[in-house]
A and B are shown apart, each in its own frame.
Chain A
Amino acid sequence: MMHHRVIADNGLKVTSGGCAVAVRLPWYRSLPLSVVDVVSIEFDGRVIDMSNVVFQLEGSSIRLDELRARTTENWFVLDTAYLVLNEKNLEVGKEYDVAVTLAIYPPYLKDLHRVVRTQKRLLAH
């Protein structure tokens, strides 16, 4: 079941610039970044402004609106990516309700896309 797999367990890390949420591809195989949309992120029910969110994978930092052009870079199905946010007031050791919604457009299927939302209570570390 992919519904609880978008956010990795233990997936909230406080960083110097804000925080990073660890995310997984909710599909059975690797997909090009061009078919992945990061739809929304919520913290304790509050919707995050997506304009400053950065997608990080294997050392590359990519703005969300740049993902669609990345047709030759694959997100390997076992790898964790990070959504880097300007959430500056998180406290290490405190728990937060985090929800991430991803949409994927499997490139071998006509007219099909999947929207998968995972919500987890995460301990900031």
Chain B
Amino acid sequence: MQSASSSNLRLGSTLYSFTTEYHNHDYSFESLIRRIAAENLGPGLEIVGFQSIKGFPVVSDAYADWFRGLIDEVGLELSCLGINSDFGINRDRKMTEDELFDYHVPQLHAAAKLGFPLIRYQYGAGPEAIKRLVPEAEKLGLKLALEIHASHHVQHPVILAFREMYEQVNSPLLGFIPDFGASVHSVPPSFLDFVRSIGVAESMIDLALEVWHAGGNGSEMAAQFYQKAVAMGGDADLILELFPIFGLFSRQDPRDWAEIMPQTFHIHGKFFDFADDGAEASIDYASTLKVFVEGDFNGYMSSEYEGHHWTDADAFDKVRRHHALASSILHKLG
């Protein structure tokens, strides 16, 4: 379903949403793309290189031809390639700036070769390596966007370092991808159902939510929770099962996305659960999308279902509901 709205926010899907179906071999890379097109869950299509392509970032000419042909045939539009800023491959030390630069270059080339106009990079790249990649991006005609994912937010020191670099470099190729998991109002109900199902005590859940609602830096909240939970006699393994609360969900005010609107190239429309009325249970999509429409955002929002970490719910059903919700809101916003 596509919106009849006049906004330039266009819908799409990321294959990340279908991790359960893909990991389980129910669908291949190709059959997922074909079903997304058939179900009209585009037109934007986002993929994660290291998820979908064996051997990534090495992409042969034949593979790129096959992929571009498939996309043309099914009529989807490539919105974004998720690349990874894997600073911790060597567990004894972080990559140096030179190594980070070298690690990203082939991923940029793969994106261009596959026909993507934009890549998603991650905070681990660091501002300096990204700054050095700008000439490469210019050569390839590729935009580079930092994903702002929980536990970060627009004013987090890690993000501010990139914003400062962007100001200095002033390149139209450098931007951001807000991830709505960073602006939730509550923890998804299905996550709490999951931790209850594996035996996490209500007292531990209450404690985690109390720490989360009090707010603060993600890793500090996790450490604070861990300390208190151990002191209360909680089971160490089950305590760890609650840590995603501090890493996947942040409570930034959705209106704060306006700060980076001119540099926002793409959106990760993160979602988890739906209430009976079709609203997302932990993200206020009406208020959030209003910020982007009023800010004249021009680009795709990938429907990005992430409940697959803790449930095996049907991702196609989830993404259909997300498209319906977004279309309805965009229609009302005009």
List A residues at the B interface (Cβ < 8 Å).
1-3, 5, 24, 28-32, 34-35, 68, 71, 74, 76-79, 105-112, 115
- Any A CB within 8 A of the CB of B87: yes
Contact flag A108-B88 (CB < 8 Å), given A1-B194, A78-B54: yes
- Any A CB within 8 A of the CB of B23: yes
- A29 to B86 Cα, complex, angstroms: 12
Stretch at the interface among B202-210, B294-302, B305-313, B318-326: B305-313
User: Contact between A1 and B51 (Cβ–Cβ < 8 Å)?
Assistant: no
Q: Give every chain A residue within 8 A of B311 (Cβ-Cβ).
A: 1
Beyond contacts A34-B89, A68-B91: 9 other A-B pairs, Cβ-Cβ < 8 A, are: A1-B309, A1-B310, A5-B23, A28-B19, A29-B51, A34-B91, A35-B91, A77-B50, A108-B86
Shortest CB–CB separation between residue A124 and chain B, in angstroms? 22
Q: Give every chain B residue within 8 A of A68 (Cβ-Cβ).
A: 91
User: Contact between A2 and B90 (Cβ–Cβ < 8 Å)?
Assistant: no
List B residues at the A interface (Cβ < 8 Å).
16, 19-20, 22-23, 25, 48, 50-51, 54-56, 84-91, 122, 124, 194, 198, 219, 237, 240, 243, 247, 308-312
User: Contact between B87 and A108 (Cβ–Cβ < 8 Å)?
Assistant: yes
User: Contact between A32 and B89 (Cβ–Cβ < 8 Å)?
Assistant: yes
Contact flag A2-B309 (CB < 8 Å), given A24-B23, A29-B51, A77-B51: yes
- A112 to B312 Cα, complex, angstroms: 23
Q: Give every chain A residue within 8 A of B22 (Cβ-Cβ).
A: 77-78
User: Contact between A28 and B88 (Cβ–Cβ < 8 Å)?
Assistant: no
Residue among B51, B87, B89, B124 facing the most chain A CB atoms (10 A cut-off): B89
Q: Give every chain B residue within 8 A of A111 (Cβ-Cβ).
A: 219
Picked from B25, B85, B219, B310, the residue with its CB within 8 Å of the CB of A108 is B85
Q: Give every chain A residue within 8 A of B16 (Cβ-Cβ).
A: 28
- A2 to B84 Cα, complex, angstroms: 21
User: Contact between A30 and B240 (Cβ–Cβ < 8 Å)?
Assistant: no
**A/B interface sample: 22 pairs, CB < 8 A:** A1-B20, A1-B310, A1-B312, A2-B309, A28-B48, A30-B51, A30-B54, A34-B89, A34-B91, A35-B88, A35-B89, A77-B23, A78-B25, A79-B54, A107-B88, A108-B87, A109-B247, A110-B124, A110-B219, A112-B243, A115-B237, A115-B240
Q: Give every chain A residue within 8 A of B124 (Cβ-Cβ).
A: 108-110
